[in-house]
Structures are given as structure tokens and as C-alpha cells.
Amino acid sequence: MPAVDLVIKNARIVTPNGVMDGGVAVDEEKIVAVTSNTTLLDSSKIIDAGGLLLLPGLVDPECHMGATRPILEDMISETRAAGAAGVTTWGLMQTSPTIKRPVKEIQGPDDVPSFKEVLPEGIRIGEQNSLIDFYFTPILQTNSQAEEIPDYASQFGVTTYKYYLHQKNPKHSKYWPMKVGFVSYDDRAIYLGMENAAKLAPRGRVCMHCENWEIASIFEDRLIAANSERTAATWDDKSPHFCEAHHVRSYAYLGKVTGCPIYIQHTTTQETIDEIRRARAEGIKIMAQTGHHYLSISKHDGWRINVPLRDPETIARLWIALAKGDIDCVGTDHIAHGPREQLEVKDDAWSVKGGFSSRVEALFPVMMDEGVNKGRITIERLVQVCCENTAKAFGLYPKKGVIAIGADADLLLVDPKRVIRVSSEMLHTCTGWSIYEGREFQGWPTLVVSRGEIIAERPKDKARAEIIGKSGRGKYLRREVT
């Protein structure tokens, strides 16, 4: 038989159903064999894994580009950061102006561009500059965008859509500029979007950032009037748990009415988990995501984000829910924010910009060390929540998220014993800093393969991964409706 392009042997292959000894053969970007070491095909390029773990490449469903600088620049630097960290498929959740800024200043819904105008540009920029494969989940802001979903699906293979429910009425938000397209909308736009997404069955899905800022503003006003402390923990008090859970209950019901599958973007509270379980018991198609930051950083640690970070007791409950299957996926919500001094909460959580940087580069070590090493989840469950389930939720499975014959050869070789202390020098993100700096994690990617090509490698004597693949090799992932 002719030699295949690549063979990885002597690995411990991790699947959702268990760990097996053996290797994989790759040819023409696809996995063509998953078998024992003795029956692997011949290849001119053979990698001896030496007993290390072999996982599917990570599928991260949530990244935001172009919010603080042009999307072209983010597409170069941040996809390199993702690739170095083991993410081989990235879901870009974008408002239309973050893909291509409109010439006219945005004053209202009529000024927000259609995705039909901007997605060709976003796809072109991505395929010319991205290191890894990518797809788009448009953030809908207007009635007309919701009505255009059939066009987005047929023209661009887009099957998933998102609503920023906390931004339905921007007058309650002092934290987001209108230039990125956040304008007032109501449940008409959401209902229309659900109706149209439901027609894309079985892959149509609506994603939702659940956090009722109309109610949260009451608590914010009261905290300010009481001259309360403005710590990061107080930011959590501003947005109580029920504000998140309330949106889940309300819009899950609309999902039931329309037959539209729902994806909860940020599951951060027990109350939200309870509502997700209630919805599933009623037959509603609902999946849930949390973030590795919600699993590893407390509201007392000095950082502000939307939805807020929670207390240590809630973090422990999130891990239990993730292990049990109440939460399906983990996403980074990555964004290239600014300097640390603009984001770290010291005296006033209301005066700093929200968010923090380099989330994607911390995804795997957090899940491995805080999850697997501490016995909170198994390595098989890590593969489910960081690879397989996400690929299924966003219409990419079995092309992505699994080590199986016929799947794209996206592979991650991991040294489960390697310990690295996070430092700014090891990062690839343009911002150059991480909230995890100084923390040690055990279990790191040593080799990253995307569609059969080695794109990143972490030398034994260096903490920083070396980028081997070239920017512009990433492919846009068109998802078929049926």
C-alpha cells in the first residue's frame, strides 16, 4: 500500500468512550486509520508519541474578533495564540460591524449592516490570515438580520446565531460602544430568529447570552446610592444569579414554542443549571456552555466580566454540573482586550473596561489541571466538553471534534506530567498578558496538528510553543443545513 502522509504511533488515544493504546494514520488531511501500533500504515513521516496522550484538536465555540482593533489584525495574532494552545477550530461570534465597519456612523438599527454585506469580507480575511479553521456565528441585532437567516444559511452555510440578551436595550449599558452594532431590539427580533433557525433543522440553533440587565440596573443603582464598595465581588452583586436564570427560563420556553434548539452561552450559577434541567425535562432542546474562567477564577480575584465571575461555592457546583452532563461545552469567550492596567479591578469595578485577555491560551491547561488532575472530570469528559459536544452543537461533527476514520486530522499531543508556570513571555496573543500569570499548571500540549499539518510544537526546554504553520492556511467551515 502507498505510504500515508503522517503516522503518530505509541500514543494513548483519548476518546469519549475510553483511552486506547495505538496510533493514527493521516492522509490528504483526513484520519484514515485508528488502530494498534502493529497495524499502522507506513509513512515517510512518523511521530513516536512515547506514550503521551493524543486528543482531538480543541473546538472553541466562542471568540470575538475586531472589537478593539481591525479583525484582520486579530485574525493573524489570535489564531496563532489559539493554534499554539491546541485549538484547531474556532467559532467567531461577531456583530456585523466587527467584521466590516460601515461607512456611516451607527445611530440605530437601520445603520447596522446586513451579514450578507460583511460575511464575504470576513471569510476572505480569515482564509488569507487565519492559522486554524473557523466558522461564524452572527450576533443578531435587528429584525431584518433575523429575517435574513435563510439567506445566511444558503449563501454562507451559517446555521448558528446568537443574541446578546443583556444588550437588548443599550441605555442600560454604559460599557459597549454603538460602533460595534449594539442597538435596541426586542423580542420580535428574537422570535423571528428562532423561527428561522428552527427551519434549518437539524443544525439550526440560537445561542444566548442570558443576563437581564434591565433588572440588574436596579441593583447597580442601589449599590451606587448606598455608596457600596466597587470591588469585583460587588460586580457580581450587581447581576444576581436569578438575572441569568430568568432569561434561560423565558427564552427556553420560546424555544419550545418555535421548536428552535437553544444554546446557553454562559452557564455560571446553580439557578441556571436548575432551569436547564427543567427545560430538558419538558422536552426542550437545550445545550449549555460554561467557560474555563468561570471554573477557575473567583469573583474575589479582582476581574470584571459579563456574565460576572462567581463565588468559590458556585465554582464547585459548576464542576459537578460539567461532570454530570448538565453543562455540555466549555468555551473561552476570547477577546484581545487592552493593557492589564485598564482591566484589573483595584478600587472601582465600574470605571474599568470589562473582560480580560489571553483566555484561549489557558483553556487546555485549566481544564487539564483544575479538572482532570483534581479528579473533577475524567480525561474522556474533557474530550467531550472541549471537542465532541461543541462540534455537535455547531454542526461540525463528525468532521471535527473526534479521532475517527474520515474526520479531519486535527490532533493534540499532550504531556500530562509537564508542569509550566504561566508567564507573559510564553504568550502569542497581541495583548501579551494573562490573568493566569504566575500560576502553575500540569498537563500541556506538545504538538498541534491541523488537517494533518503540524502547526505548533512546544519544545521540551521551552514554555512557549513554536508556531510552525503559516497564517492563511485556515479554512472557512461552511455548515450544511441537512
Cis peptide before 448 (omega within 30 of 0): no
* Domains along the sequence of the chain with CATH: 57-393 (3.20.20.140)
% of the chain with per-residue pLDDT over 70: 98
**HEC states along 88-153?**
EEEEEEECHHHHCCCCCCCCCHHHCCCHHHHHHHHHHHHHHHCCCEEEEEEECCCHHHHHCHHHHH
CB contact at 8 A, 414 and 369 = no
> How far does CA 239 lie from the centroid of its chain?
22
Helical pair 187-198 and 241-258, crossing angle rounded to 10 deg = 50
Identify the sign of the CA torsion 394, 396, 402, 408.
Answer: negative
Which pLDDT value is given to residue 1? 56
Which pLDDT value is given to residue 356? 82
How far apart CA 220 and CA 238 sit, in angstroms, is 5
Which pLDDT value is given to residue 176? 57
Give CA angle at 200 (194, 203), nearest 5°. 100
CB contact at 8 A, 273 and 321 = yes
CB contact at 8 A, 363 and 58 = yes
Cell of 4: 500515508
Spans of the chain, pLDDT less than 50: none
How far apart CA 102 and CA 99 sit, in angstroms, is 10
Output the pTM of the full model. Answer: 0.96
How far apart CA 199 and CA 334 sit, in angstroms, is 30
- Nearest Cα residue to 289 out of 265, 262, 316, 272: 265
Which pLDDT value is given to residue 388? 98
